[in-house]
Amino acid sequence: MNVRVQVSMVFHLDKCIGCHTCSLACKNLWTSRPGAEYMWWNNVETKPGTGYPTLYEDQEEYRGGWEVKDGELRLKLNTRAGELLNIAYNPRLPALDDYYEPWTYTYGDLIDGPQQEDQPVFKPVSLVTGKEMEIEAGPNWDDDLGGSGIYAANDPNLSSLSGEQRQQLLNVERVVFFYLPRICNHCVNPSCVAACPAGAIYKRGEDGIVLVSQEKCMGWRMCVSGCPYKKVYYNWETGKSEKCILCYPRLETGQAPACMHSCVGRIRYLGVLLYDADRIHDTAARPDHELVDAQREMILDPFDPEVVRQARADGVAEHVIESARKSPVFRFVKKWKIALPLHPEFRTLPMLFYVPPLLPVTGSMSEEGLYETSSDFFSSLESARLPIRYMANLFSAGDDEQVTKIYRKLMAGRYYKRAQTVGDVDSGKIAQMLAEAQTTAGELEEIYELTSLAGFDERFVIPPFSREAAIELVQITQSRQEGGGMGFVHEPRRGL
């Protein structure tokens, strides 16, 4: 056992309203710069939909992530040798058309435009060429377009559904969509790191945040291809790649990442996970249907004395272990087992997790013109608007049972609370649902508390940053304070 620390996030998708405030907070803070306009370190996708960049989930096209071939875990992109041969030619890159051409408008036309006989307007101009342009794509082009024959219908996750199931999703009574916020998954087995010929990408030891060194990056863009989530972006102005940094400057000062801090629906939870680094390779190489369970086993229980002993031996600070015990992420992922990684079959061991959404029930127009919902809408998974298979394709490498188990628990929770607050469900039914979901009233209460009532301090639990550890990297700590970051070495210069 080799205990490491990961700052990790859970997204509760039932609570996401698709307002994109997280995307804006991130964009305003980090990527409103020349060359970074098209970067959305945080974006929110309508699902079913094609995502951003378009169809990024299709690894037959993009060859991101890992595969097991001849018993060996290796980059899907190519082998190390092949990569060096192809280093100057990389056909697996998304191009501008797969993203979009960022634009602004000729705002000045409203004030400086020529006199005319009609109301003036401003027109779109490209932020790349500076020329007038027609807007044909955007970073959220299929927003709310569940039921679109162009976008939703081409979601790669629908591929294993039956033709009838797919057709139903286009009927107005069955039309459905939900939102999927995405940032870098700060993977434990990151393919961007493995793909980088310059060794510029690294995973921080203290919190597992994956970063691109702007000094070492040489702009080969293998990371862009290597990342199956397309969460590394190439800055065409600086010639370097960039990605989500999980707002580490904010984390180090005890603040939540901007995306989380601004979240209107309070869907995000941030906390520490301990995991066993000795198991990374074995976990990532397991067959598809074992990936979710294997990753959950790789994540360690901070209440287990054996884990704690080893964590201490591996240099994990006491307050980090304490924090891991209070981690809301630990509870969702490991204890209650109701949060899943996105596309575990990419085998990067993504360390962000999603509570799958309980979608609206199906309804239909009766002959009398009344809208009727199915009567068993709390209990029947079969009548869920999106087939379980679709969720399984997103969150469990196609293993329906993993998703079904979670839905049984979530539905048991809803029924249990409904019995409490409305009182129209009989106790026999509740007992049956709890048994089927292999849960208890106590656990459901806990889930309810953290899902519905938790305040910010319960949703955001990280250990304080070990300032002394950073300082001792660069200087002797047994000196007086003026050498240690407080006070000024010389008088500050002021004025413009």
Would you count residue 98 as binding other proteins (CB under 8 A)?
Answer: no
Radius of gyration (Cα) for the chain, nearest Å?
25
CB of 61 to other proteins, least distance (A): 22
- Segment near other proteins (CB under 8 A); pick from 121-129, 212-220, 297-305, 378-386: 121-129
CB of 24 to other proteins, least distance (A): 6
CB closer to other proteins out of 20 and 182: 20
CB closer to other proteins out of 140 and 393: 140
Would you count residue 105 as binding other proteins (CB under 8 A)?
Answer: yes
Q: What is the DSSP string of 163-208?
A: HHHHHHTTSTTT---EEEEE-----SS-HHHHH-TT--EEE-TTT-
Q: Which of 472, 411, 458, 455 lies closest to 436, judged by CA?
A: 411
Residue partners of 95: CB distance under 8 A and separation at least 6: none
Report the distance separating Cα 198 and Cα 120, nearest Å.
51
Identify whether the C-beta of residue 147 lies closer than 8 Å to the C-beta of residue 167: no
CB closer to other proteins out of 54 and 148: 148
CB closer to other proteins out of 20 and 203: 20
| Intra-chain end-to-end CA distance of the chain, in Å | 56
CB of 231 to other proteins, least distance (A): 18
DSSP 8-state secondary structure symbol assigned to residue 245: -
The contact pattern for other proteins, residues 4-23, with x = CB under 8 A and - = no contact, is -------------xxxx--x
What are φ and ψ of residue 206, in 5° steps? Answer: -75, -30
CB closer to other proteins out of 24 and 198: 24
Would you count residue 135 as binding other proteins (CB under 8 A)?
Answer: yes
SS3 135: coil
CB of 259 to other proteins, least distance (A): 14
Among 33, 69, 123, 216, binds other proteins (CB under 8 A): 123
- Segment near other proteins (CB under 8 A); pick from 2-10, 116-124, 241-249, 410-418: 116-124
CB closer to other proteins out of 363 and 398: 363
The contact pattern for other proteins, residues 148-177, with x = CB under 8 A and - = no contact, is xxxx------------------xxx--x--
Report the distance separating Cα 425 and Cα 436, nearest Å.
16
- Segment near other proteins (CB under 8 A); pick from 58-66, 104-112, 288-296, 431-439: 104-112
Residue 346 has which token pair? 């990419």
Reply yes or no: is the peptide bond before residue 53 cis, omega within 30 of 0: yes
Residue 409 has which token pair? 């628990």
Neighbours of 237 (CB within 10 A): 10
CB closer to other proteins out of 21 and 78: 21
CB of 30 to other proteins, least distance (A): 13
Residue 11 has which token pair? 């997204």
CB of 176 to other proteins, least distance (A): 9
Among 136, 164, 368, 457, binds other proteins (CB under 8 A): 136
Would you count residue 454 as binding other proteins (CB under 8 A)?
Answer: no
What are φ and ψ of residue 69, in 5° steps? Answer: -130, 130
Would you count residue 143 as binding other proteins (CB under 8 A)?
Answer: yes
Identify whether the C-beta of residue 387 lies closer than 8 Å to the C-beta of residue 165: yes
DSSP 8-state secondary structure symbol assigned to residue 335: I
Neighbours of 114 (CB within 10 A): 6
CB closer to other proteins out of 117 and 215: 117
Q: How many residues bind other proteins (CB under 8 A)?
A: 41
Residues that bind other proteins (CB under 8 A): 17-20, 23-24, 27-28, 102-105, 110-111, 117-124, 135-136, 138-141, 143-151, 170-172, 175
